[in-house]
């Protein structure tokens, strides 16, 4: 908002002065009433003084533009520094009675200190504090420290803390300032808060999320390292039972995020995070990684002892989650995740589950080669689009031809060896004293055909 948006007048000063005179007159009237009242019964306590509210556009303009001269002329005492700034905006809301969207006025509240600190106006914030602005006042849902941290205003956050701001103050939603460090640029603010006594294991009011949960969910490796150095507990669970490792694996949804979430998971595992810890709906980190089509993350978890065949609350294993995600993440090499799970002890799936991966020939091939006899094709053949069948006709035709037919002796021997090794396939097969071609054959390589 530019400084020329509103023409500054003395109406703000007059309105504030008049309101103060009215308050003083009311206090004198009540004092006289107390003196003349009989003392037989104790007087009820006087209600807490309600801070004045301001909707004056000139005051709003001075605050939102950081006009220090105007702010100094308006906010000259404690009463003015602690007034509540109100704005009214029209928002569309659904009216069930009318059956349509209607404009409804919505009042939002904040404080002068919140505005100055959240926008990085350090000189303005200092003036307000010197005039008696309450540094920890929660107005409109947040305190000034919340806004300065959320906006990455390091100098303002340092100023507030120097004036005694509580680094663990909770907003109405139950979040401390440390919980609002949600992007890489907020690392200096997180360091500042911790240096001033922020509790690294403090949970949010409702969900009991710690700063480590928040950093892991946003894939912030540097924040995770910082919190671990300050005593963050990787085993700390949220109200839903999730650890920070659960949060990281659940949030790793996009392919471009795979690298940073893997680094976050590595830091957590090195600090003692349990790869088998089940969270919401008994999902383990491996369930989440497989459900998000993240083979690198799945490999990391399996290398640290994640259970490849553990069921969740609905009875789904990580393999089931991987199959449900094949169609959505078919460009993220879902066959690699499937092969990893098979190498770590996951068995062949129920043939009914093949329909979830039939549109990805590579994933279907890996699964079909885990059986010693190819299941009937009725479970999946009808779900293959004609254009995809035409594009991969050689593979689909070979799979259809081998359905319910005995496989070659070589394949049967492969199944027997893998069945014997079980969850040790990933570690034992590379060490077998066999020609390289046979070792590779035991690892279910893709050939584009079912033989």
> Is residue 289 within a helix (H) or strand (E), and if so which, with residue range?
helix 285-291
Full DSSP string of 372-441: SBPPPGGGTGGGS-HHHHHHTHHHHHHHHHHTTSBPPHHHHHHHHHHHHHGGGHHHHGGGSSS-HHHHHH
Mean pLDDT for the stretch of residues 412-436 = 95
The answer on pLDDT for 431 being more than 60 is yes
The answer on pLDDT for 172 being more than 90 is yes
Q: How many helices (H) and strands (E) does the chain have?
A: 23, 3
| Cβ–Cβ < 8 Å for 339, 360 | no
Structure tokens at 412: 């049967």
What does the pLDDT look like over 139-149, one tens digit per residue?
999 999 999 99
Spatial CA neighbour of 210 closest among 191, 229, 232: 232
- Which of the four pLDDT bands, split at 50, 70 and 90, describes residue 445? very high
Q: Out of 3.40.50.720, 1.10.357.10, 1.25.40.20, 3.10.20.600, which CATH number does the structure's domain 1-33+51-85+111-199 have?
A: 1.25.40.20
Question: Which pLDDT does position 9 carry in this prediction?
Answer: 58
Mean pLDDT for the stretch of residues 379-393 = 93
The answer on pLDDT for 126 being more than 80 is yes
Question: Which pLDDT does position 10 carry in this prediction?
Answer: 63
Question: Which pLDDT does position 197 carry in this prediction?
Answer: 97
Whole-model pTM: value is 0.83
Contacts of 110 (CB under 8 A, 6+ apart): 84, 85, 87, 139, 140
Question: Which pLDDT does position 3 carry in this prediction?
Answer: 44
What does the pLDDT look like over 193-216, one tens digit per residue?
999 999 999 999 999 999 999 999
CA distance 308 to 320: 11
Question: Which pLDDT does position 87 carry in this prediction?
Answer: 83
What does the pLDDT look like over 231-272, one tens digit per residue?
999 999 999 999 999 999 999 998 888 999 999 999 999 999
What does the pLDDT look like over 18-71, one tens digit per residue?
666 777 777 777 777 666 655 544 555 555 566 788 888 999 999 999 999 999
CA distance 154 to 174: 22
- Which of the four pLDDT bands, split at 50, 70 and 90, describes residue 5? very low
Residue 429 to residues 254, 266, 423, 433, 438, Cα–Cα distance (Å):
32, 26, 11, 9, 10
What does the pLDDT look like over 68-95, one tens digit per residue?
999 999 999 999 999 999 987 767 777 7
The answer on pLDDT for 171 being more than 60 is yes
The answer on pLDDT for 366 being more than 70 is yes
The answer on pLDDT for 97 being more than 80 is no
The answer on pLDDT for 413 being more than 90 is yes
Q: How far apart are the first and last CA of the chain?
A: 70
Question: Which pLDDT does position 41 carry in this prediction?
Answer: 47
Q: Do domains 1-33+51-85+111-199 and 200-347 have the same CATH topology?
A: yes
Question: Which pLDDT does position 7 carry in this prediction?
Answer: 47
Give the start-to-end residue ranges of the domains of the chain.
1-33+51-85+111-199, 200-347, 353-451
Structure tokens at 287: 């369930």
Given this structure, which CATH class describes domain 200-347?
A: mainly alpha
Q: Provide, rounded to the nearest whole percent, the portion of the chain with pLDDT above 70.
A: 91
């Amino acid at each position: 908002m530019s400084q020329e948006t509103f023409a500054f007048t003395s109406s703000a000063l007059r309105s504030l002065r008049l309101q103060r005179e009215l308050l003083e007159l009311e206090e004198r009237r009540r004092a006289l009433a107390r003196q003349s009242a009989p003392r037989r019964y104790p007087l009820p306590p006087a209600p807490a003084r309600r801070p004045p509210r301001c909707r004056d556009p000139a005051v709003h303009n001075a605050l939102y533009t950081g006009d220090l001269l105007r702010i100094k002329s308006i906010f000259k005492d404690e009463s003015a520094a602690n007034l509540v700034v109100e704005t009214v905006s029209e928002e569309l809301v659904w009216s069930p009675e009318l059956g349509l969207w209607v404009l409804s006025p919505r009042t939002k509240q904040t404080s002068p200190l919140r505005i100055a600190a959240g926008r990085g106006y350090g000189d303005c914030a200092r003036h307000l504090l010197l005039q008696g602005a309450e540094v920890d006042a929660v107005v409109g849902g947040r305190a000034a420290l919340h806004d300065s941290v959320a906006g990455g205003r390091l100098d303002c956050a340092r100023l507030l803390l120097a004036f005694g701001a509580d680094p663990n103050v909770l907003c109405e939603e139950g979040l401390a300032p440390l919980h609002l460090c949600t992007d890489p640029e907020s690392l200096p603010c997180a360091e500042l808060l911790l240096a001033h006594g922020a509790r690294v294991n403090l949970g949010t009011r409702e969900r009991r999320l710690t700063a480590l949960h928040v950093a892991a969910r946003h894939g912030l490796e540097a924040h995770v390292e910082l919190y671990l150095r300050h005593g963050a507990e990787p085993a700390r669970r949220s109200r839903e039972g999730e650890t920070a490792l659960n949060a990281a694996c659940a949030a790793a949804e996009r392919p471009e995020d795979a690298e940073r979430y893997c680094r976050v998971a590595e830091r957590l595992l090195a600090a003692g995070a349990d790869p088998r810890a089940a969270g919401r709906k008994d999902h383990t980190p491996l369930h989440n990684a497989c459900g998000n089509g993240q083979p690198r993350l799945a490999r990391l978890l399996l290398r640290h002892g994640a259970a490849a065949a553990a069921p969740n609350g609905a009875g789904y294993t990580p393999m089931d989650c991987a199959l449900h995600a094949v169609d959505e993440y078919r460009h993220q090499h879902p066959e690699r995740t499937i092969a990893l799970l098979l190498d770590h002890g996951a068995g062949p799936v129920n043939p009914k589950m093949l329909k979830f991966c039939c549109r990805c020939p590579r994933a279907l091939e890996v699964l079909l080669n885990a059986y010693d006899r190819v299941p009937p094709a009725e479970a999946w053949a009808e779900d293959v689009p004609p254009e995809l069948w035409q594009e991969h006709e050689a593979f689909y035709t070979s799979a259809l031809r081998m359905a319910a037919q005995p496989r070659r002796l070589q394949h049967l021997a492969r199944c027997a060896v893998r069945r014997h090794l079980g969850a040790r396939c990933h570690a034992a097969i590379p060490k077998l004293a066999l020609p390289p071609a046979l070792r590779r054959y035991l690892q279910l390589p893709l050939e584009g055909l079912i033989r």
